[in-house]
Amino acid sequence: MDLNLTESELRFRDQLRAWLKNNLPEKPIKAKSDHDPDYWSNLRSWQNKMFEGGWAGVTWPKEFGGRGATSIEAGIYMEEMAALDAPERVGTIGEGLIGPTIMAEGSDEQKEFFLPRILNATDIWCQGFSEPDSGSDVASLATKAVRDGDNFVVNGQKIWTSYAAVADWCLLLVRTDNNVAKHKGISALLVDMKSEGVSVRPLRQMSGESAFNEMFFTNVRVPARNLIGELNDGWRITITTLMNERANLGSSIYILFRKNLTALIKRMKELKSGGMCLSDDPINRQKIAQMYLELEIFKLTTNRALSKIANNATPGPEGSILKIYWSEMNQRLVQSAMEILGDQAQLQDFDDGSWVHGYLRSRGNTIEAGTSEIQRNIIAQRVLGLPRSY
């Protein structure tokens, strides 16, 4: 057991750090409004710049344009980007989910066409999985695809789709067989978002921004060659995609939350309540210490999981454990922050409304990327071997 980085891990980190310091944009890339087109084109340029510098798709095999980074190096990558406040990675779904899926399941043509365009930010991807009637039970999805000559004709609706408003392509789960068990009649299509019949409507979140969308498909024609994997084999492909999502174990989340905690401690030293400095109040000190220790344990368990993957190469249930852990931890963290900072914390112009935003946004953490309830079912059934509850 050795928790120090190895020499090659240190080299990886130092090279990345140096490149970032020389190449990060001078000012953070911020959206001026919900529909600021410059925001997205700036993010694409940044992604492309990372590609030119050799820092896109770091975990992709070298044969597909990546660096073949280990899971530890992937963790370092996420940490360093977050530590230096690097811009949002608009290609994150393409790089982290779609790319690995195409590598595992795609035809040679699909690999040749799509993979380079993901890496260099020509294509931004979104995932069309959930529907209004199919959330946790995504296998019950009803968006239909019917074969018509050389095409599939797609009709239906998707919801909660991040990046749909700016995406070029979509990994779309569709029903292609109504006469079998629900998960056996699903196929996965690669859909050009510029196809006729595709429309996108942003959905506003309670935290104010419209980071996700509804997508409507009305008689959309998708070439049959855009089927990925075999017909009706889409469920298995979904599981592969989701395993990769959970394998992205949140090294950057740690850095983000740590920054919030550091900012909170700084504020506590500046502010008073009842004549006492917030940082001297023993109750506040207990809360801060608790936040800190939960956050550090999150980092440790993330590293332990990355270490295990590095040794065994298959992501296991660690993803579900970590997802429950960080999402519920963050909800406690933001509530403690609101308590410590007091009444003023609810005001929109107190610290630019950042505490308000963090507090509200945290309610989505236990719902997105697999609800806490589903994650607990997964742990209970797949790790502890308890019987299915439904």
Active site residues: 245
Contact positions with another protein (CB under 8 A) in 9-28: 9
Q: How many CA atoms lie within 13 A of 249 on its CB side?
A: 28
Q: Is 293 in the site for another protein (CB under 8 A)?
A: yes
In the bound complex, what is the minimum distance in angstroms from residue 283's beta carbon to another protein? 11
288 within 8 A of 265, measured Cβ to Cβ? yes
**Cβ distance to another protein smaller for residue 10 or 180:** 10
Measured from the CB atom, the residue of 95 and 318 that comes closer to another protein is: 318
What are 169's two structure tokens?
A: 């392509």
DSSP string, 77-97: HHHHHHHTTPPP-TTHHIIII
Place of tokens 């999985």: 129
Part in contact with another protein (CB under 8 A); list of ranges 23-31, 53-61, 103-111, 294-302: 294-302
For residue 378, how many C-alpha atoms fall within 13 Å in the half-sphere facing its CB? Answer: 20
The strand pairing partners of 203, in sequence order, are: 212
Backbone angles phi, psi at 315, to 5 degrees: -65, 135
CA-CA distance, 52 to 89, in Å (whole number)? Answer: 15
Q: Does 325 bind another protein (CB under 8 A)?
A: yes
Q: Which of 297, 339, 346, 354 binds another protein (CB under 8 A)?
A: 297
Asked if 111 touches another protein (CB under 8 A), the answer is: no
Using the minimum distance from each CB to another protein, give the nearer residue, 175 or 258.
258
275 touching another protein, by CB under 8 A: no
Figure out which of the listed residues 117, 182, 183, 308 binds another protein, where binding follows CB under 8 A. Answer: 308
Cβ count within 10 A of residue 179: 6
Binds another protein (CB under 8 A): choice among 184, 285, 357, 361: 285
| Site membership for another protein, residue 276 (CB under 8 A) | no
Helix axes of 354-365 and 318-341: crossing angle, nearest 10 degrees: 150
256's CB contacts (< 8 A; 6+ apart) are 82
Considering only the stretches 141-149, 229-237, 307-315, 345-353, report the one whose residues sit in contact with another protein under the rule CB under 8 A: 307-315
- Please select the residue that binds another protein; options are 33, 178, 311, 314, rule is CB under 8 A: 311
Of the listed pieces 88-96, 109-117, 191-199, 289-297, which binds another protein according to CB under 8 A?
289-297
Using CB under 8 A, which of 189, 247, 268, 333 touches another protein?
268
Q: Which residues are CB-contacts of 268 (< 8 A; sequence separation ≥ 6)? A: 277, 278, 279, 284, 288, 340
Does position 265 bind another protein by CB under 8 A?
yes
